[in-house]
């Protein structure tokens, strides 16, 4: 009999390692433009003002939506980890690539001096860097993406 790598309460009823709370925060951080779009749609009168506040440049908004697609799809895919294990295993790399592109885009925008008067872009850049580090280095999260390693 194999000893479990994690305590039994860390597994769900299907025997899968539970996704950590910080993983959900990473997904929400990556899908932040989608969340902003939902909030703008919910507040009909102030929706355009809300979008203009966070994304004065429409091109940045569309790029943010594009970079948030893997995270938004990842939110849906978490329920199908057992059904599509190969797709789930590769999804961590897609999320990491999306975060890396987001970091490069934000770094280039800061380098060019865009939004230099607000601390929000620097804060988002730091959070994205932490999220990328967590996706790549946190062993428990990596084990969630590789079901064969959960019990080793």
CB atoms within 10 A of CB 78: 14
**pLDDT higher at 48 or 32:** 32
Position 147 scores a pLDDT of: 66
| Structural domain contains residue 5 | no
Give the Cα separation of 63 and 6 in Å (integer): 39
Total domains in the fold of the chain: 1
Residue 58 located in a structural domain: yes
> Between residues 143 and 4, which one has the greater pLDDT?
143
Mean pLDDT of the chain: 85
In a domain, 37, yes or no: yes
pLDDT at 14 over 70: yes
Mean of pLDDT values over 22-42: 90
pTM for this one? 0.82
Q: From 18, 1, 56, select the one nearest 150 (Cα to Cα).
A: 18
Query: Is residue 82 in a domain?
Result: yes
Q: Is residue 34 part of a domain?
A: yes
Beta bridge partners of 11: 17
Rounded to a whole number of angstroms, the CA Rg of the chain reads: 18
Contacts (Cβ under 8 Å, ≥6 apart) of 122:
110
- Is residue 25, in this structure, part of any structural domain at all? yes
Q: Range of 39's domain?
A: 17-149
What pLDDT sits at residue 23?
A: 93
Phi-psi region of 138 (alpha: psi -120 to 50; beta: other; left: phi over 0): beta
Q: Is there a contact between 40 and 48 (Cβ–Cβ < 8 Å)? A: yes
Measured from the Cβ of residue 71, the count of other Cβ atoms closer than 10 Å reads 25
- At 40-86, the pLDDT tens digits run 888 877 878 877 777 777 788 898 899 999 999 999 998 888 888 88
pLDDT for res 152: 47
* pLDDT tens, position by position, 104-133: 988 888 888 766 567 777 888 899 999 999
Q: Is 11 inside any structural domain?
A: no
**Inside any domain, residue 87:** yes
As a whole number of Å, the end-to-end CA separation of the chain is 11
pLDDT of 16 strictly over 60: yes
């Amino acid at each position: 009999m194999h000893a479990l790598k994690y305590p039994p309460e860390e597994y769900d009823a299907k025997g899968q390692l539970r996704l950590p709370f910080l993983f959900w925060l990473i997904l929400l951080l990556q899908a932040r433009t989608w969340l902003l779009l939902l909030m703008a749609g919910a507040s009909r009168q102030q929706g355009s003002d809300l979008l203009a506040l966070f994304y004065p440049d429409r091109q940045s908004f569309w790029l943010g939506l594009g970079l948030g697609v893997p995270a938004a799809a990842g939110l849906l895919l978490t329920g199908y980890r057992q059904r599509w294990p190969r797709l789930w295993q590769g999804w961590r790399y897609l999320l990491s690539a999306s975060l890396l592109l987001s970091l490069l885009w934000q770094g280039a925008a800061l380098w060019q001096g865009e939004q230099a008067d607000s601390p929000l872009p620097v804060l988002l850049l730091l959070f994205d860097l932490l999220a990328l580090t967590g996706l790549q280095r946190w062993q428990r999260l990596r084990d969630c993406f590789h079901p064969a390693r959960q019990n080793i």
